Amino acid sequence: LALALPPRCVAQRNRCSDSAMALKRPASELASVTTPDGVTDFQKGQRDFSQTQGSESKAIRMDFASEKKEYTNGVVAKNSWRSLTGALSGETVRIPDVDSGYPKSVFPTRWEEGNPMPVEVKEYDIGSGHPDANEHRMKFGVVIPSTNTVVEYDYWRIIMENKEVCEGIGFHVSGILIDSPKLATDEDMLHFLEMFRRQIFQTVDRLMTAEPQYIIMGMSLETFFGGWEGNKEFKATLTDRTGLNIATGAEACKAALTCFKAKRITIITPYQEIGDRNVVKFFTEIGFEVVRIAGLKCGSATDIAHVPEAWCEKVIRENLVLPGIDAIVQCGTNLSMVSLADRLERELNIPIIAINAACLWFGLREVGIDAKLQGCTRLLREH
């Protein structure tokens, strides 16, 4: 027999923290979910980042020790790497020298009649080196799932719409092969993460061939997995592999909320429940009150990019703008929300942390670029 709740009871139920209820859900109800799930007794070392057999690649790690190094063209030149203290993390951020030995090139000086090929050439004097012609200020490496079509678009749109203050900043993207993108259940989502981990080293090794100076993770769920300790472990794993500092969605959201002095938050994600539970665990562990989380439960990784902006706006307006909240957070990098967040913030007067904007902001500020950018939320405009 189904009974309708009286209006007073409905209101009381809606005031309850949906996130707190999620965290209290008995582990026995997740018996069908493959462990580790990030929530139940997470411990460092549970995740398997070993490469898939037969597809192993060699690690490429930036050199922060030698006074000179051999560049990819065979030139031995100075190694003028630099370091600074990250403005948001407080960590030492090391920026590798990717210029001093480049480019090795010649210019032809003489041809003989009847022979189209030059018979004499001279080498250009590279002096102290020349930077990348387009990315001469900062060359970011970005890791995304192969199913993600939003991150690169968002980043380049932001840069090009703020071209005057972003000249010389660029991105090189490497995609993690996702050959089974289904996300219809918790089990699907955990399997997706397992595939991601087995491919991540090969992906960053390929990325490192472009010699990026800093890496931004354009996939957020794995950075929330296991809470704050899980995020730290993931960062350390990639830094050990590459030598570079890493921006993650989880840490970027933490830093963004701190800037706005937020404490009580609501969240929108494209995830299944196990993903949402990891997100709630992360924010709760680091001191935020998650009042409500709305997971869209998209059926596949590809689905996420097809979610209309209007659907996200409906969820935010009807379910996440609650009395007493300080900010709204959006997780899931393939969910297009930067433009929507920028528009709704002005109307609702609530900071909306769109994760792609947050990741880019975090990366820029950590490497010492403090340009204020327009059209991509208050975070990049004000902080």
What is the pLDDT averaged over residues 190-199?
93
pLDDT exceeds 50 at position 21: no
User: CB 131: neighbour CB atoms within 10 A?
Assistant: 14
Burial class (CB in 10 A: 0-12, 13-18, 19+), 74: exposed
Q: Cα dist. 144→152, 179, 201, 217, 270 in Å? A: 9, 14, 13, 7, 16
Q: Are the C-beta atoms of residues 245 and 91 closer than 8 Å to each other?
A: yes
SS3 state of residue 166: helix
Q: Are the C-beta atoms of residues 98 and 211 closer than 8 Å to each other?
A: yes
Q: What is the pLDDT of residue 55?
A: 82
Label residue 20 by pLDDT band (50, 70, 90).
very low
Label residue 65 by pLDDT band (50, 70, 90).
very high
Residue pLDDT, tens place only, 299-336: 999 999 999 999 999 999 999 999 999 999 999 999 99
Cα separation, 170 vs 139, whole angstroms:
5
Q: What is the pLDDT of residue 187?
A: 94
Residue pLDDT, tens place only, 142-188: 999 999 999 999 999 999 999 999 999 999 999 999 988 999 999 99
pLDDT exceeds 60 at position 8: no
Label residue 53 by pLDDT band (50, 70, 90).
confident
What is the pLDDT averaged over residues 104-127?
97
Label residue 340 by pLDDT band (50, 70, 90).
very high
Q: In terms of pLDDT, which residue wins out, 2 or 223?
A: 223
Q: In terms of pLDDT, which residue wins out, 258 or 15?
A: 258
SS3 content of the chain, % helix, strand, coil (to 5): 40, 20, 45
Mean pLDDT of the chain: 92
Q: Are the C-beta atoms of residues 356 and 254 closer than 8 Å to each other?
A: no
Q: What is the pLDDT of residue 294?
A: 98
**pTM across the whole model:** 0.90
pLDDT exceeds 70 at position 7: no
Cα separation, 286 vs 221, whole angstroms:
17
SS3 state of residue 72: coil
Q: Are the C-beta atoms of residues 132 and 98 closer than 8 Å to each other?
A: yes
Of the candidates 211, 246, 250, 210, which has an alpha carbon nearest to the alpha carbon of residue 230? 250
Written as one letter, the residue type at 179 is D
Cα separation, 114 vs 212, whole angstroms:
44
Question: How crowded is the C-beta side of 274, counted as CA atoms within 13 Å?
Answer: 27
What is the pLDDT averaged over residues 274-295?
98
pLDDT exceeds 90 at position 355: yes
CA geometry: angle 299, 308, 265, nearest 5 deg: 80
Q: What is the pLDDT of residue 35?
A: 58
Of the candidates 171, 183, 165, 174, which has an alpha carbon nearest to the alpha carbon of residue 145? 174
What is the pLDDT averaged over residues 109-128?
96
Residue pLDDT, tens place only, 209-221: 999 999 999 999 9
